[in-house]
Chains A and B, each alone.
Chain A
Amino acid sequence: MLRIPCPWCGERDEIEFRYRGDATRVRPAPDAGLDAFVDYVYERDNPYGWHLEWWLHVGGCRRLLKVVRHTVTHEIRAVSGPQEDPELPPP
């Protein structure tokens, strides 16, 4: 079971958070075109290893977090606010 260290609330159980998926996907510019939006909405790296992902702390501060988590070991390496760009460790 994940324990996510929220920068504002401290370490909390996963059930306090709502997962919002891959945080490396950035919404394209409004007129980037169909392919760009198809890629944004549907295509995923789905890495076996470090994953940058969104979690919304709905049971706490309601802040959106960027979490660096390993998809095999589930280790959490970094947690930040939505505007920061935490680095993904090498695979």
Chain B
Amino acid sequence: MSGPVRIRAGLLTDPGQPVAFSFDGRALRGLHGDTLASALLAGGQRVFGRSFKYHRRRGVVTCGPYEPCALVDVQGPRGREPNLAATTLPLHEGLTAFSQNRWPSLDFDLMEVNDLLGRFLPAGFYYKTFMYPGWAWEKIYEPLIRRAAGLGRLDAVVGTHADPAETVHAHADVLVIGAGAAGLAAATLLGSAGLRVTLCEQDVELGGGTLLDARWNDWRRQAATALPALGVRVLTRTAVLGAYGHGVFGALETLTPEASARLGGLRERLHVLRARRAVIACGASERLIAFPGNDIPGVMLAGGALGYLVRYGVAVGARPVLFTNNDEAYEAAMALQGAGIGCAGIVDVRAASAAAERAQAQGIEVHFASQVRAVQGRAGVESVTVAPRAGGASRVLPCDALLMSGGYTPLTALATQMGGDSHWRPELAAFVAEVPPDVGCLAGAVNGRQGLAASAADGRAAALRLCAELAVNVPTEPDGAEPADAAQSALEAFWEVRAKGKAFVDLQNDVTAADVRLAQREGYEHVEHMKRYTTHGMATDQGRTGGLVGSAVLAEARGEPLATVGVSRPRPYSQPVPFAALAGGEVREHFKPRRRLPLHDWHEQAGATFVSTGLWLRPLVYSRQGGWAPVLEEARAVRTQVGITDVSTLGKIDIQGPDAAQFLDFIYANTFSTLPVGRARYGIMLREDGMMFDDGTTARLAPEHFLVTTTTANATAVLEHLEFQQQANLASLRVLISDVTDQWAQFAIAGPRARDVLAAALPNADLSNEAFPFMAAMPVVLEDLPGRLFRISFSGELAYELAVPAQHALFAWESLLRAGEAFGIRPYGLDALNTLRIEKGHITGAELNGNTSAEDLGFGRMLKKQGDFIGRTLVRRPGMLASDRLQLVGVRAVDPALRLRNGMQLVTHEAPTESLGYVTSSTPAVESPGWLGLALLAGGRSRTGARLTASSAIHGENIEVEIVSPHMVDPENLRVRA
């Protein structure tokens, strides 16, 4: 017998529930509770994939989330999902997995040639070659590199709708991260003190290290049972991804396949947790030792081997050897020995140890002061060469698995993200972090504690401290009924065996100790430079198995202590996190809310094509056929008869108070205090830098009551601008600002027959020019519905806007349609509205682009001479007054058969590459053939009458245009005053 095999029932596996799955097309069986890795090991599989650069065969290294090698692709509901760690992937019926990074097959991979060429492919080789000829990088070298690199293959068929997703927002007094001995002890005590506690554990079971020590089974079960009764919220399979300050943490909960099926395919939840304090008890991770062949399938971390035995009943080999520098790793060898697996020996770099005495008592041979110099085997370990460290004869130990342990590194990432400093702890040969006291505390192995009992005590101490800080009564001291920790000898820092062959410090990215030394020789001697030059620690395990080892190799090469050299700074996320989980539910069709008009359904039934403008959905044209014809028909109705359009998206801000007029005088560049009640005025708002910010009409409804309208696009920004200015700069003014955009629906009725329509709809209103002239405003009653009528025009025609409470929009709209029937009224959409306003020379966002001044747009004379207003001073800077600034003009295509396009550049015949400006808006003219538009043109107003070329190079079009006044329809404003 050789290789891994299942020898007994595990803690998590259920022999009564077989599960069928497949790997690289082979049908296999595992048990419920298995991971893919444990099931494959149980079936004797040793090679799981090919490595990143050298395409060497790789097996399982760990039994947890920081697996560098055993990554697989899995056939998901929507296609192939890459890079799943087999070590945490729950086995489920029908699971279909594939090995990665091999061609054509796992056993025979042509890219293995890279391994033989390894001497020519050291770290960073690509920076030194592939430079000639220049074009070849994109055409030859890069495609080759890209194809060879990468790991998993993404091959997804995508559905048409967003998959289910959940983001959970929650609060707690204390967040406990990690449910090992320390975390369980802390959560229990905090919970019994009456605090609101959330406990997150990345594993499928609570317990952490206690899961691997049978003496702790009772203690663990007791704690796990007690927690819910204490009100502790327990989240298993939930990894805390990052610490974001102010007590905010992100955590990823991965659902079981069963839960996922039950919840309609929901795969995971993102928890956003807000806690007053945190107990970080996330433990430590075992690290590898660098020696030649430390990547051959069958070489794995000792703690991983123990995990497979206890959790899944799987022995990772029939004759394992252990290579260690610490006592803790002995547990794996002794447990296997105790399970009837004969250990082929223990190689301890130390001269003696307490654990060794126990192992020897079990009958295991211990090679003291020795090291593994070589590993034989390709598809799996066959033997190891062991030699005394001091030199001397080596021995070859036949074996089929090599368990290694270079010690344990506290998982300090969260602590350092919370602003903690790291300190070197020689007795652990690792860095331990602190956290600022006001964010919480560390407990257990992450805090440098060794042994489960010591960790539990540390967890209790942390909890007691937090109880005091949060001013809650400490419950009666619980008895520490934990099994005692075995006496341990100290570990000896040991990182690397220098011998012939590739000794890996990063198993996934294929970084060797020699690569690290090369980086140092080439001057990349800072740990961050070494990391970036070699890619050490940048793989999916984020350097958790070998990060410190690489630093140690670097430190030795630099001749400096590891404490000085340090490790690269860990960043979020603590585990790889699917895009879908971070993104949550607001994706695809739910990416942004849809803001619907009060009359959305009416527009839809009337055949409207909708367009998204910001969040709004607006009717573009009442036709689904496209093209300009229906648009021009709508516009023509307005020019010749009457049309009605829904302008409810305009921002509407209600301003009231004794100082409202004074407030508006400051906000607007023109004057509003002189506006009589019952009148509206066009206003321009500047930014403080003097550029135009927004425009719109503002009506005075009462002496102390104004209604401001804004452009649709700037509605939110203007509201915030007003609120900011009022509170920051004008706090002494008595003025109230309310956003009433959603409260009022508003319709424009425009065209020569507009007055007739309104007269029919509002028989009691006097709409004569004398009583209700252009720019007048008054309250009206439509049947019994109170509303507001404004005589304002965006189309250039005789026009009114009627505003009614939004909930009565349909009533008002239909009343107007009925009243207008006799006059041929028809609804018009945004396109026609745009056509009409372009002809009239009114501006929208295309011209109001944040880089145009009032002067540029022809409003220079509106700036008031008296009194302060926003933008007043900076608008007088010389650059704002330059004569060659882009100014608003009209353009007309000389040849009526040729079309204008928005974004065409304006040039002269003489200088066809020098842009003088560009077309901002364009449209076919309503009443005559040919195109016209608005443009921003350098010194534009002085060029009226000039002929220029409008050029769209991307369309290959150059057409002659005449520069005209922007007011191309009714420049004398007769129609609006009719």
Contact = CB atoms under 8 A, between A and B. Distances in A.
Contacts of A38: 874
Interface in B718-734: 720, 723-724, 727-729, 731
A5 B294 CA distance: 53
Contacts of B659: none
Nearest to A34: B873
Contacts of B688: 27, 37, 40-41
A14 B890 CA distance: 45
A56 interface: yes
B424 interface: no
Contacts of B872: 30
A34 to B, nearest CB: 6
Interface string B669-695: 000000000000000000011000000
B591 interface: no
Nearest to A32: B873
A62 B246 contact: no
Given A3-B274, A30-B868, A34-B876, A54 B728 contact: yes
Nearest to A3: B246
B871 to A, nearest CB: 9
Contact of A1 (B244, B723, B873, B876): B244
Contacts of A34: 873-874, 876-877
Nearest to B732: A83
Given A20-B728, A38-B874, A82-B728, 12 more contacts: A1-B245, A1-B246, A1-B248, A2-B246, A13-B248, A20-B724, A30-B868, A34-B874, A34-B876, A56-B720, A64-B728, A83-B731
A74 B731 contact: no
B896 interface: no
A38 B887 CA distance: 24
B731 A58 contact: no
A56 B724 contact: yes
12 contacts: A3-B247, A20-B728, A30-B873, A37-B688, A37-B873, A40-B688, A41-B689, A56-B720, A56-B723, A64-B723, A64-B728, A73-B419
Contacts of B419: 73
Interface in A3-37: 3, 13, 18, 20, 23, 27, 30, 32-34, 36-37
A58 B720 contact: yes
A3 B247 CA distance: 8
A44 to B, nearest CB: 14
Nearest to B730: A27
B578 to A, nearest CB: 20
A63 interface: yes
Given A30-B868, A37-B873, A74 B723 contact: no
Nearest to A20: B724
Contacts of A20: 724, 728
A32 B64 CA distance: 67
B723 A62 contact: yes
Nearest to A58: B720
Interface in A27-71: 27, 30, 32-34, 36-38, 40-41, 54, 56, 58, 62-64
B488 to A, nearest CB: 38
B724 A54 contact: yes
Contacts, number: 59
Interface in B853-906: 867-868, 872-874, 876-877
Nearest to B717: A18
Nearest to B877: A34
Contacts of B876: 34
Nearest to B727: A64
Contacts of B724: 20, 54, 56, 64
Query: Interface centre among A2, A34, A37, A63, by most B CB within 10 Å?
Result: A37
A50 to B, nearest CB: 16
B731 A82 contact: yes
Contacts of B877: 34
Interface residues of A, number: 28
B246 A18 contact: no
Interface residues of B, number: 23
B727 A41 contact: no
A27 B872 CA distance: 12
B652 to A, nearest CB: 16
A69 to B, nearest CB: 10
Interface of A: 1-3, 13, 18, 20, 23, 27, 30, 32-34, 36-38, 40-41, 54, 56, 58, 62-64, 73-74, 76, 82-83
Given A18-B720, A20-B724, A27 B729 contact: yes
Contacts of B873: 30, 32-34, 36-37
Interface in B213-251: 244-248
Q: Which 6 A-B pairs have the closest CB atoms?
A: A30-B868, A64-B727, A3-B246, A37-B873, A1-B248, A1-B244
A78 to B, nearest CB: 15
Interface in B418-456: 419
Contacts of A37: 688, 873-874
A41 B720 contact: no
Residue among B246, B247, B248, B874 having the largest count of chain A Cβ atoms under 10 Å:
B246
A13 B273 CA distance: 11
B207 to A, nearest CB: 31
A14 to B, nearest CB: 9
Nearest to A81: B727
A20 B717 CA distance: 12
B732 to A, nearest CB: 9
B196 to A, nearest CB: 15
A83 B689 CA distance: 24
A55 B731 CA distance: 16
B420 to A, nearest CB: 12
Nearest to B245: A74
A13 B246 CA distance: 10
A62 B721 CA distance: 12
Nearest to B867: A30
Contacts of B248: 1, 3, 13
B867 to A, nearest CB: 8
Nearest to A23: B728
Contacts of B245: 1-2, 73-74
Nearest to B244: A1
A13 B451 CA distance: 39
Contacts of B868: 30
Contacts of A41: 688-689, 874
Contacts of A58: 720
A53 to B, nearest CB: 12
Nearest to B249: A1
Interface in B503-551: none
A36 B868 CA distance: 15
A26 to B, nearest CB: 9
Interface-centre pick from A1, A3, A38 (highest chain B CB count, 10 A): A1
Nearest to A36: B873
B719 to A, nearest CB: 9
Contacts of A74: 245-246
A25 to B, nearest CB: 10
Interface string B741-758: 000000000000000000
A13 B978 CA distance: 54
B720 A63 contact: no
B912 to A, nearest CB: 37
B504 to A, nearest CB: 37
B762 to A, nearest CB: 35
B60 to A, nearest CB: 37
Contacts of A1: 244-246, 248
A40 B274 CA distance: 37
